[in-house]
Amino acid sequence: MRKKMGLAAILAIVAALAALVLPAVASAASLGEVAGSLEEKAIELNMTWVAVATALVFLMQAGFMFLEIGFSRQKNAGTGVAKILVNLAICTLAWWAVGYGIAEGGGNDFFGDSGFFFHFNQSVAGEAVNGETAMLMLYGLAFCAVSLAIVWGTTLERIKFGAYVIYAIVFGAVIYPLVAHAVWGGGLLGDIGGKPVMDFAGSSVVHLTGAVGALSALLLLGPRKGKYDAAGKPRVIPGHSMPLVGLGVIILWIGWFGFNGGSTFGTEGVLFGEVMLNTQLAAAAGVIGASLAVYMKSRSLDVGMAGNGAIAGLVAITAPSGFVEYWAAPIIGLFAGLIVVYAVLAIDKLLDDPVGALSAHGLAGIWGTLSVGIFASSRLVAEGAAPGVWYSIFGDEPFSATLGQLGVQGLAVLFTFVVVFAISIATFAIIRSTIGLRVSDEEEEAGLDISSHGMYGYPEQFIPQPEYSTGLPGTAGFGDGVPVAATPMTATETR
């Protein structure tokens, strides 16, 4: 609204100036040209913001890397780096060749049918590919890669490297694109009885999808050796570096400003400012919620849980970030922080999830998606959608409509879970019965760094490091000294 008024004002001034300076040329045609070029400039400005956001979202790969490595033991530090790099690479090519077409290529309710092997001037969903399309395609890839990175949180320290390669292809080409198409690509969830699912930046599309993939992998993979004692009681396997976890959390937090803020796809009305403030408020409340919960539970201010709380708050605000008022963001984040602690402790009794991905991305993702149906503001609500139930209780929105919207949000959760779980569990079952999903006991014991990559992430922890000999003639080094025979004891034996 604001932007359109601004545009009109600028046009009026330009027209007035043109009329003053060149009365003869101030015709309708030149005015049209000015308007056209302003529209182009608006697109260019919007895409510049998306470019910044894209870089921030790709930075989140470093966040996942450090978070997961910090929560792993030293013998599995290097593999985390290789995993992130290889997954990102495979996901990129899969998204370019197939995934983008399925997600954004028009088509039917279930999948898109154009835009495969993305190239210039290609027709995607009836429009020719240009720089703007490329920018948005790359931004979509960054989201797909985040979703894939979440999957592996549950599989640390025991999965075969080959599983990454195969699943990354399926995930980048099919799984994530199907969900993205359903919600954002004009698919099934874009219109349920006239109401669209409101998922601003992907609490369900990105985070729940990743977490459900993580659950599928974990169910077929089983816990790490030694995680459960003979009586089935969980044991703590501490990660090796809380500083790395902290670095990962802060990088993710910063990246999230691109994740949520960039999902405005432009600068109109500086909506991204509102979205980013909501993001910050929820993350802060998530830290507080998780810290409170873990303190009440164990009388200690757990470092890892504070980090999980930040992530849970961020995941939860992802869907509502563009739809809720500022007062709602801390409530959403705080609740996510509380959920994550109790969920990590409950899940730990049954499933070995070293980083808490199921809780922080899965349950907080579900909560975030549903929270839109509770708190979505009448001011910001998406076109065709109803505001949150809150506005029926404390406002005068019709109850049936708001409840209906909450139901639609629930359907998004259900759809995401069913689709992702079905394809993921099938993919992992095939991987398990062909190349195998899990490394051998000996390899797990030795650590994936040395068994899968032939090197250690922290070599000096495992290999004694000698002082290097220079190897040059005439310089002292190992074995260069003149050999001498031991002389007989010169001192008197006093024993």
Partner 1 sequence: MKKIEAFIRHEAFEPIRTELLDKGFPSLSILEAKGSGRQKGVVERYRGSTLTVNVRPKLKLEVVVEDKDKGLVVETILKHARTGEVGDGKIFVLPVEEAVRIRTGEGGETVLQAHEEPEIPA
Cβ-based nearer residue to partner 1, 177 or 309? 309
The number of CA neighbours under 13 Å toward the Cβ of 133 is 19
* C-alpha span between 18 and 284 (Å, rounded): 51
Q: Give the pair of three-digit tokens for residue 294.
A: 């873990």
Strands (DSSP E) found in 171-236:
none
Q: Rounded to an integer, what distance in angstroms lies between the CA atom of residue 241 and that of residue 257?
A: 25
What is the contact surface with partner 1 in residues (CB under 8 A)? 234-236, 238, 294, 297-298, 300, 302, 304-305, 308, 341, 344-345, 348, 356, 481, 484-491, 494-495
- Residue 385's φ and ψ, nearest 5 degrees, are -90, 160
Shortest reach from residue 37's CB to partner 1, in Å: 56
List, as one string, the DSSP characters of 96-113.
Answer: IIIIHHHHHS--SSS---
Q: Give the whole-angstrom CA distance, residue 126 versus residue 477.
A: 72
In angstroms, give the least distance from the CB of 253 to partner 1.
19
* Least distance (Å) between residue 69 CB and partner 1: 16
Coil vs helix vs strand at 159: strand
CB nearer to partner 1: give 156 or 344. 344
Shortest Å, Cβ 478 to partner 1: 12
Minimum distance from CB of 490 to partner 1 (Å)?
A: 4
Structure tokens at 170: 């399926």
Q: What angle do CA 242, 248, 250 make, to 5 degrees?
A: 105
The least CB distance from residue 351 to partner 1, in Å, is 14
Q: Which residue number, 28 or 491, has a Cβ lying nearer to partner 1?
A: 491
Crossing angle for the helix pair 271-298 and 328-348, nearest 10 degrees? 40
Long-range contacts of 129-135 (CB under 8 A, 24+ apart): 131/47, 132/43, 132/47, 135/47, 135/50, 135/51, 135/54
In whole angstroms, how close is the CB of 156 to partner 1 at the nearest point?
Answer: 14
The alpha carbon of residue 329 and the mean position of all alpha carbons in its chain are separated, in whole angstroms, by: 19
Closer residue to partner 1, CB minimum distance, 41 or 297: 297
Least distance (Å) from partner 1 to the CB of residue 360?
12
